[in-house]
A and B are shown apart, each in its own frame.
Chain A
Amino acid sequence: EAQVTQNPRYLITVTGKKLTVTCSQNMNHEYMSWYRQDPGLGLRQIYYSMNVEVTDKGDVPEGYKVSRKEKRNFPLILESPSPNQTSLYFCASSHPGLAHNEQFFGPGTRLTVL
């Protein structure tokens, strides 16, 4: 089954404790992206990657890191989480070369930073 998986789905942590949210896709997609969703602000792009070893900042990259060492994986790293990073996070992937080019979204990770 074609899918994007994220882990963990729910996470409660404390300020300053480094964490990683994993994202993996099994569709051989080149484009992968991380978004956060906040009430009243909607979805905002954090980082995206056009291919292996190619990453770019989105609208709200501060406080986040990413890496793309393999095509299927695109982890989101919070080196020193703060309460303003409490949010719902989505990973997504797509194949820019395809005519339809729809994005496939993961199920979301709800992060609470105390």
Chain B
Amino acid sequence: KNEVEQSPQNLTAQEGEFITINCSYSVGISALHWLQQHPGGGIVSLFMLSSGKKKHGRLIATINIQEKHSSLHITASHPRDSAVYICAVKSMGNQFYFGTGTSLTVIP
């Protein structure tokens, strides 16, 4: 059972390209999180969404609750954006479910 599905699994982009990572989920949620994991392994939280859209610098996250879908966009991508991006949902029961991640490589 996969409560959270992400696509694509792997993504290679040229520096400056606009990037979109998609996340679909099948459970009722109280919130959706986008996480970033760098090659060293550390995980940081980028966004927490319960509705609408959020923007932080070159990163934009959107969520459509009715369609159970979220997207993470990166504008003007840069090699330092290379990382694994993980979608996570917090269920109504306070349990977390994760996608398997999207490995992004931005080439100079």
Contacts and interface: CB of A to CB of B under 8 A. Distances in A.
Contact of A107 (B35, B41, B48, B100): B41
B98 A58 contact: no
A43 B88 contact: yes
Interface stretch (B15-23, B68-76, B89-97): B89-97
A64 interface: no
Contact of A42 (B33, B94, B100): B100
> Which applies to chain A's interface (DSSP): helix, strand, loop or mixed?
strand
A86 B42 CA distance: 18
Interface string B64-108: 000000000000000000000010100000111111110000000
B43 A105 contact: yes
Interface residues of B, number: 19
A59 B91 CA distance: 12
A48 B96 contact: yes
> Which applies to chain B's interface (DSSP): helix, strand, loop or mixed?
strand
Most buried by B among A41, A43, A104, A108: A43
Given A48-B94, A100-B48, A42 B42 contact: no
B10 interface: no
Interface of A: 31, 33, 35, 40-45, 48, 50, 56, 58-59, 88, 90, 92, 96, 100-105, 107-108
